[in-house]
Amino acid sequence: MNWLLLILSLPTENATVRMRAWRMLKAAGAAVLRDGVYLLPARDDCRATLESVRSEVQGAGGMASLLETGGADCEEFPALFSRREAFEALLGDIADCRGGLAGENALEVLKQARKLRKAFTALCDIDFFPDDSAARVDAALLELETAGNRALAPDEPRPADRTIEARDPADYRGRRWATRRRPWVDRLACAWLIRRFIDPDARILWLDSPADLPADALGFDFDGAEFTHVGARVSFETLLDSFGLQQPALRQLGALVHYLDVGGVQPGEAAGVECILAGLRTSLTDDDRLLQAASDIFDGLLAAYAQDAGSTSKRDMP
């Protein structure tokens, strides 16, 4: 394979440009062959980064050259890009979080898990020659995220192994829908979705226990409910698939709910939304008022997603 070499020489007094170039090269995963000589695989994204650094250095009055090389003399280069040590450090941090997890600090541990997931994603982006390290860290992160969510909400449903049936919203109008009281992200989003897209006249019941489910009510987001976690889907995604709600903005909202409920790939807005919903849940002890406030958040997110994607118009929304 071919390699890119960036050779730099900066005036010693230009510390700002020097630091900015170093940060860009570090973020890109560049290896240092010697002082002022940086190495990356000859990939388009790596080339773009090195060309950007070269332009900035030259614009600041320094010297920079970008060369491409390859052949037998480069056989030892891949070893310079081993990320095993960095992945092992992440595993240690994950183990520390998992060991300190308790019900009273579950939300803080989940926030830390989000940061670790972000660091893991960034590390994977520069893992040019992967081994089994990334898979081990991903599995440990999933375990931490699952345990954190279980500690935050001990009665969270376990994934059901079943087929999702297609449903007609016309058959689900004017019904009573029930879920566990003191809702968190998935239950709040489900209740909003039901009233917004499935059953505008839905009456939402908040149960002390799933065993209290009335015979005529439709349950959601608890073990044994009509609509709950199925396979890798959280309850919100199950509702989307059950009722054929495929608008891109709704699917994007589903990805956000999935992440906040069980972890995974972090949307950029996740931390802010989680902070707002957590504040609402703390300050509003009445679940109906909590749903009303959260619904405004979901309405705003849907509108923003639809505007960004240009995919959902007002006539798509009941």
* Residue 199 CB neighbour total at 10 angstroms: 22
Answer whether residue 285 shows pLDDT above 60. Answer: yes
Q: What tens digit of pLDDT does each residue of 203-245 get?
A: 999 999 999 999 999 999 999 999 999 998 999 999 999 999 9
Identify the bridge partners of residue 204 per DSSP, sorted by sequence position.
177
pTM score of the predicted model: 0.65
Q: What tens digit of pLDDT does each residue of 50-96 get?
A: 999 999 999 888 899 999 988 777 888 999 999 999 999 999 999 99
Domain 82-152 matching CATH 3.90.550: the answer reads: no
Radius of gyration of the chain (CA): 25
pLDDT (0 to 100) of residue 146: 81
279-291 exposure pattern, b = at least 16 Cβ within 10 A, e = fewer? ebbeeeeebeebb
Q: What string of DSSP letters covers 87-129?
A: HHHHHHHHHHHHHT--GGGHHHHHHHHHHHHHHHHHHHHT-SS
Counting Cβ atoms within 10 Å, is residue 259 exposed (0-12), middle (13-18) or buried (19+)? buried
Give the DSSP letter of residue 166.
Answer: P
The domains of the chain are located at 2-80, 82-152, 169-316
d(CA 68, CA 139) in angstroms, rounded, equals 37
| Structure confidence at residue 123 as a pLDDT band (50, 70, 90) | very high
Give the DSSP letter of residue 160.
Answer: B
Q: What tens digit of pLDDT does each residue of 155-190 get?
A: 778 888 889 999 999 999 999 999 999 999 999 999
Whether residue 309 contacts residue 249, with contact meaning beta carbons closer than 8 Å, is answered with: yes
Closest CA to 307 of 230, 248, 220: 248
| Structure confidence at residue 310 as a pLDDT band (50, 70, 90) | low
| CATH number for the segment(s) 2-80 | 3.30.70.240
pLDDT (0 to 100) of residue 314: 43
* Residue 213 CB neighbour total at 10 angstroms: 19
Containing H/E element for 38? strand 37-41
Residue bearing tokens 């939402």: 204
Structure tokens at 30: 């560049």
